[in-house]
Amino acid sequence: MISGDDVACAEARAWDPSLSTVAVKDARDRFAGQLRPVTEAREAIEKTARHALQATGPGTVDRVDGLSVLSVRWQSATVASHLCGIPTVTRTDDRTVEVTGEMIDLFRLFRVFTTVASTLTDQIPYC
């Protein structure tokens, strides 16, 4: 399941039509959007999550075995350069980093990526 702006949700559905999405805002441009009221957005996320979980049913979620690739393109080359200090992370261009590993490790690493990006919020654009 993915929640975000209407453009991100459309991009996600184009990539995988089986994804459940919730648009919590309408994108106006790169840095602006029209937000849905918080209670409405929260209810939509909870309802969609509930339906998505019911649709998969117990025990139907597949485990991802083997190696996967995490590739993230940042708005700022600065973020990408900072992340290259992490072993196994490489840059594929000035703003994109990539790492190969087990899915659980990639999820943990993505958490590190977002933490690094959030510490750079005083640098515009920050990520």
49, 71: one domain: no
What's residue 71's pLDDT? 92
48, 82: one domain: no
Domain that holds residue 82: 67-119
What's residue 99's pLDDT? 95
| pTM of the predicted model as reported, rounded to 2 decimal places | 0.53
What's residue 106's pLDDT? 92
Residue 125 lies in a domain: no
What's residue 127's pLDDT? 46
Instruction: Indicate the number of domains in the chain.
Output: 2
Residues in the chain with pLDDT values less than 70: 57-64, 120-127
What's residue 1's pLDDT? 87
Q: What count of residues does the chain have?
A: 127
What's residue 58's pLDDT? 62
